[in-house]
Amino acid sequence: MRKLTLLLLLAAGCTFHNTDSTEVGVLTRKIAFFGKSGVQPETYPPGATYTFPAFITDWNVYNVALQNLAMVRSVQKGDRGSRDDVEFKTHDGNDIAVDVTVAWRIDTAKAPWILEHVGPQHRAGRAERDDQRGVLRLGEALPQGGGSAGEAGARARSGRGDRRACDPR
């Protein structure tokens, strides 16, 4: 009877968290009796259920599937309800607008870093859009014949070292 009571108390104090087949989980310990508190450096693999103590842990999931970020003029094609194409000024002073689609995915090993420095999944998606727009804008600053916007983005990302959290494809 004592063992059953103890088991029920432990089960009542725990919560169940799961990850879908395209998600990884990241655990945050608010209070640590064993180990360190804060965002834990390990990720929890897709397609499983985990049990953690309630009230002293937080659980976040990140979608690690290949995602497309469409910045297009047409409202029907993009993921926004307004015009979202990228505007550039050419070397001769003309304004142009370009539809851009970026395919990206989150590196599973970098999910804890994203949680710690960017935030939960819903905020990370907005940050990714802003980051990609910034990389595309670097193409404007290239000298004539100095390469492409993709090369500029690679140069910008190399300054972050191992902080690169997304794997553009």
Q: What percent of the chain has pLDDT over 70?
A: 65
Q: pLDDT at residue 160 above 50?
A: no
Q: What does residue 83 show for φ and ψ, rounded to 5 degrees? A: -60, 135
Residue 115, token pair as written in the block:
């949680």
Q: pLDDT at residue 49 above 90?
A: yes
Q: For the chain, give every domain's residue range.
A: 2-63, 67-104+118-163
Q: Please report, for the chain, how many H helices and E strands are present, in that order.
A: 4, 9
pLDDT in tens, 93-110: 999 988 888 888 999 999
